[in-house]
Structures are given as structure tokens and as C-alpha cells.
Amino acid sequence: MTNKFPKDFLWGASTSAYQVEGAWNEDNKGPSVQDVKEIPAGTTDFKVATDHYHRYEEDVKLFKELGLKAYRFSISWSRVMPDGVVNPEGIQFYKNLIQLLLDNQIQPVVTVFHFDLPVYIAEQGGWEKRETIQAFADYCQVLFEHFGQKVPLWQTINEQNVMALAGSIIGTSNKTMKEKFQENHHMLVAQALVTKQFHEGNYIGKIGPAPNIASVYAASDKPDDQIAALYMSALRNWLFLDVAVFGKYNHNAWHLLEKIGAAPQVTEEDRQTLAAGSCDYIAFNYYNTMTVSSYFEKDQRIDQQSGFGIPGFFQTVENKHLPMTEFGWPIDPEGFRFTLNEIYSRYRLPLLVTENGIGAKDQLIDGKVHDQYRIDYLEQHIQQMERAIEDGVEVLGYCPWSAIDLISTHEGIAKRYGFIYVNRTDDELLDLARYKKDSFYWYQNVIEKNGLDKR
Ligand code: BGP
């Protein structure tokens, strides 16, 4: 069997600024909401993270050795514009990083906003306020002007759907559905505005959204459960992509929002902005599918990959066919193929996978990390991605989470994802030294062969 990956396939890996950089208040960086949020007991804050800000040269050297063709990272808004004015030291850091990547033939893939709103904007009302739309557009314009001739792939907002639906968990918002979906609407308008702005500039790259997309299975063949899946998918997935691609709200999602009294106010000007800001490609993060039934009441665990219910519409249930990670997230590689196909059939735009991976309690023993579970997880997902490519889906690249260990969104450093181990714990910084895990060598071979070894 021959390999199905195109010659220029972007084998990459991902991180985000607040989870990896540290240096939270250095070189004039302002605080973001992630730096000041309350963190769960037994985990760690993001102040040092895995110290990439000071060690990016060493890290890029390792990325080069790994063979990465692309590195997806986010830029910290509060480093670049700590108080609304451009911070030259912030710009300099990303300028150095981007140049170093290019010098090493690694494509910089940049997300402009990944959960880390500057505190001064949050204090003025954050995304609830329309003014934040312009503040975001101004910030993005600064990035486009500085890096628009260097960066081939941009993403606007990471997991906007997770911010809207599980904001309290990831520390971005803790409001009513009505407030959340008004904020969400402002984000959608902001995204369309910067997409338009980007298209009007003379930049080399492409721009797209980066939601977390997961196909939704119906819990049974009961018609009610099928309708529940239709509505969950509309609210969690298609609302975000329909606006980004078609410039319009998804009709099912809109109906649901109206029914629960959470439909946002949309002005005529908003409608025009949304219509004028279609994306060039779709980036998305995939961890697992969701399974839903029609609504019944029950206590539910909520995080960005578990679910929630909307009375009268749907409720997430456990899928007994899927194994779980040690952190309780289902593992569904076939669901990845299904999700890739579903997105592509709806929108017919090229896809970039900006996150996929397994969080685990890795152990460093004698300088080694034997993370066979990570190799198995990634191998199964790459196999299914290859099948999706055979199905006819256009996939630009694959950037698993994460390039290097970093702090989990809400479960500390104990939940690791990287190909490179960073020597620290939640309690102690230790020496922050880098070690190549077994998965590092395995992924290096995948990249070198442009796909999996065929057995
Ligand atoms: C996504 C986020 C990432 C990352 C990842 C893993 O939702 O975009 O920032 O955190 O999930 O999640 P966690 O760290 O909670 O395991």
C-alpha cells in the first residue's frame, strides 16, 4: 500500500503562548486572564510554564531535529500590546522566533488569540463590549504588518466554541448563556473583520478559524436521539464554521439560541461584516467525538471535551464503545476520519489539524520517557487521517498537541502531551531541562517517511 500524504504535507506540532512561554511579566508583558485566574488545587499557574520564552532557541533546535515542517504557536496579545500600545520587546520576541523557524525550514503557523485576553481588556468588559472588536482588529493589524510577509498560515481564534460553551472551565468566562452568546457574537464579528482586513492587505498567507470540531453521534437509532445529535452539532460545531465560511449563522443553532433566550443582538452592520469575512481554509482541533441523546436530567462533568446538556434539545452521554485516556477523554480515531469528512463535505475548503493528542502522566526514568500509549494514539489517528485523505478530503497538515510539554489548560503539568519532556512538576520548577521522549523518535521517522511505516 502506498502512502497517501501529499509531498508538501505539513507535519507539525502545536503549543500556545500562555501554556508554554512563561516570562508572564517580563519585557513589559502585561497580564492576561490566564495569568490571574484561580487555578485548581494541586495544579500550577502559568507564570513560568515550560520557560519557552527563555529557551526558544534550544526548543527550535529540537523541533528541527524532530523534523517539523510546521510549528503552530500562538502570539500573546498582552505581550504585544500590554495596554493598547505596541510593546517593541514583545514584537521582537516573535520576530526572532519566526525568523529562527524560517531559517530552519519550519513554517510558522500562527494563532493570534488562544484563551489569553489581556486583563485590561477584560476589566473594561472583555468580549461583552463591542469596543473589544476594534481592539482585536487593531492588535491583529499590528501582527499582520510585522509578520504578514513571513507567516503562511494564520488562525484567528483558538476554540472559540469552547470559550462559549465551557468558558468557566478554561478560565475565560463565567456568564449566562445569553451573555456568553453575545460575547461569542462579538468574537465572530471580530474574526470576520480581521479576515477582511487580512485579505485587503498584501500578505503572503491564508487565514482561517480554529474551533474544536467533533462529530456528534446519536446515542441510538431513535429519531429523537438523531435530532439531538443534529442540534448538538449545530450548536457546538456548525455555528462557528458556518459563520466563518458562509458569513451566516447556522439555522438550527440560531433556532436553539432563540428557544433558550440566548440569541445575540445582531446589527445590520454586523451582518455585512460577517458576510465580507469568509475564511480561506479551516483549521480545527480534534480530541474526540461526542455522543448525545435527547434531553434527560443528570449531573454532568463539563470540560472542553466532555459535554453538557441543553434542556429540550440534547444531553451528552457516555459512548461505551470507546476507550478512555487516563484523564477520562474518549479515544476515537475513526471519529477523526468521520470528523474530517464531515467538515470537508460541508465546506469544501482545505483542512489543517491544529491539535490532536493524548494527555498522560509521563514518567522520566533515567533520562527516558517510554510513552508507547502516545505513539499508539497518534499512529491510530494518522492512519485514520490517511484514510480520510483517501476518501478525498484535502488536508494541508497535522499539528499534534503538543510540540513540547506545557501546562494543561486546567490540569497542571501532570497532564503532559509533548514529544519533548520538560523537567518540572506542579510544585517544583527543577531544572526545566528537555528530554526526547520515545514518541519524539517515532514521530521523527513518520515525518522522514512522509507517513506511517506500512506493515
Ligand atoms: C484544547 C486547547 C489547548 C489544550 C488542549 C488540551 O482545548 O486548545 O490549549 O489545553 O485542549 O487540553 P487540556 O490541557 O485541558 O488537557
- Reported as a single tens digit per residue, the pLDDT across 96-142 is 999 999 999 999 999 999 999 999 999 999 999 999 999 999 999 99
Short-list 362, 361, 446, CA closest to 400? 446
The structural domains of the chain, with segments of one domain joined by +, span 10-448
pLDDT per residue as tens digits for the range 393-423: 999 999 999 999 999 998 999 999 999 999 9
Residue 56, pLDDT above cutoff 90: yes
The pLDDT score that the predictor gives to residue 295 is 82
Task: Report how far ligand 1's centroid is from the alpha carbon of 64 (Å).
Answer: 24
* Ligand 1 lined by 15 (C-beta under 6 Å): no
β-partners of residue 449 are: none
Strand pairing report for 282-285 and 351-355:
parallel
Q: How many of the other CB atoms lie within 10 Å of CB of 410?
A: 16
The pLDDT score that the predictor gives to residue 310 is 87
Residue 164, pLDDT above cutoff 60: yes
The pLDDT score that the predictor gives to residue 308 is 75
Q: Which atom of ligand 1 is nearest to the CA of 327?
A: 16
* Grid cell of 349 as nine digits: 475548503
Q: How many of the other CB atoms lie within 10 Å of CB of 421?
A: 24
Q: What is the mean pLDDT of residues 378-387?
A: 98
pLDDT per residue as tens digits for the range 297-322: 665 555 555 567 888 899 999 999 99
The pLDDT score that the predictor gives to residue 25 is 97
The pLDDT score that the predictor gives to residue 410 is 87
Distance (Å, whole) CA 327 – CA 337: 23
Contacts of 366 (CB under 8 A, 6+ apart): none
Residues making up the chain, counted from first to last? 455
Instruction: Kindly tell me the sign of the dihedral angle through the C-alpha atoms of 24, 29, 31, 34.
Output: negative
Residue 454, pLDDT above cutoff 90: no
Short-list 30, 47, 67, CA closest to 445? 67
Distance (Å, whole) CA 84 – CA 63: 33
Q: Which atom of ligand 1 is nearest to the CA of 16?
A: 9
The pLDDT score that the predictor gives to residue 1 is 56
Residue 10, pLDDT above cutoff 80: yes
* Ligand 1 lined by 408 (C-beta under 6 Å): yes
Q: What is the mean pLDDT of residues 58-81?
A: 98
Distance (Å, whole) CA 185 – CA 265: 8
Distance (Å, whole) CA 359 – CA 96: 30
Residue 375, pLDDT above cutoff 60: yes
Instruction: Kindly tell me the sign of the dihedral angle through the C-alpha atoms of 88, 94, 98, 100.
Output: positive
Short-list 322, 177, 188, CA closest to 248? 188
The pLDDT score that the predictor gives to residue 309 is 84
* Ligand 1 lined by 401 (C-beta under 6 Å): yes
* Grid cell of 187 as nine digits: 468574537
* Ligand 1 lined by 14 (C-beta under 6 Å): no
Q: Which atom of ligand 1 is nearest to the CA of 407?
A: 14
Q: Of 42-51, 170-179, 206-215, 262-271, which range is least confident? A: 170-179
Q: Which atom of ligand 1 is nearest to the CA of 329?
A: 16
Q: Is 224 exposed, middle or buried (0-12, 13-18, 19+ CB in 10 A)?
A: middle
The pLDDT score that the predictor gives to residue 299 is 55
Share above pLDDT 70 across residues of the chain, in percent, rounded to a whole number = 96
In the sheet with 309-310, reading across from the earlier edge strand, the strands are: 216-218, 290-293, 314-316, 309-310
Angle 451-326-314 from CA coordinates, rounded to 5°: 90
* Ligand 1 lined by 158 (C-beta under 6 Å): yes
CATH superfamily of 10-448: Glycosidases (3.20.20.80)
pLDDT band at 186 (very low <50, low <70, confident <90, very high): very high
Distance (Å, whole) CA 421 – CA 424: 9
Distance (Å, whole) CA 261 – CA 127: 19
Cβ(235)–Cβ(260) under 8 Å?
no
Q: How many of the other CB atoms lie within 10 Å of CB of 277?
A: 24
pLDDT band at 453 (very low <50, low <70, confident <90, very high): confident
Residue with cell 519566526: 98
Strand pairing report for 351-355 and 434-436:
unpaired
pLDDT band at 168 (very low <50, low <70, confident <90, very high): confident
* pTM of the model as a whole: 0.96
Task: Report how far ligand 1's centroid is from the alpha carbon of 221 (Å).
Answer: 32
Residue 172, pLDDT above cutoff 70: no
Distance (Å, whole) CA 417 – CA 379: 15
pLDDT band at 364 (very low <50, low <70, confident <90, very high): very high
Active site residues: 159, 355
pLDDT band at 2 (very low <50, low <70, confident <90, very high): low
The pLDDT score that the predictor gives to residue 39 is 87
Chain center to CA of 270: 25
* Ligand 1 lined by 415 (C-beta under 6 Å): yes
Return phi, psi of residue 50, to 5°.
Answer: -110, 25
Return phi, psi of residue 236, to 5°.
Answer: -85, -35
* Ligand 1 lined by 288 (C-beta under 6 Å): no
Short-list 367, 404, 366, 382, CA closest to 333? 382
β-partners of residue 324 are: 330
Which residue has a Cα nearest atom 14 of ligand 1? 408
- Pocket probe for ligand 1: among 158, 169, 405, 409, the residue whose CB has the most ligand atoms within 8 Å is 409
pLDDT per residue as tens digits for the range 223-240: 999 999 999 999 999 999
Task: Report how far ligand 1's centroid is from the alpha carbon of 16 (Å).
Answer: 9
* Grid cell of 292 as nine digits: 448525545
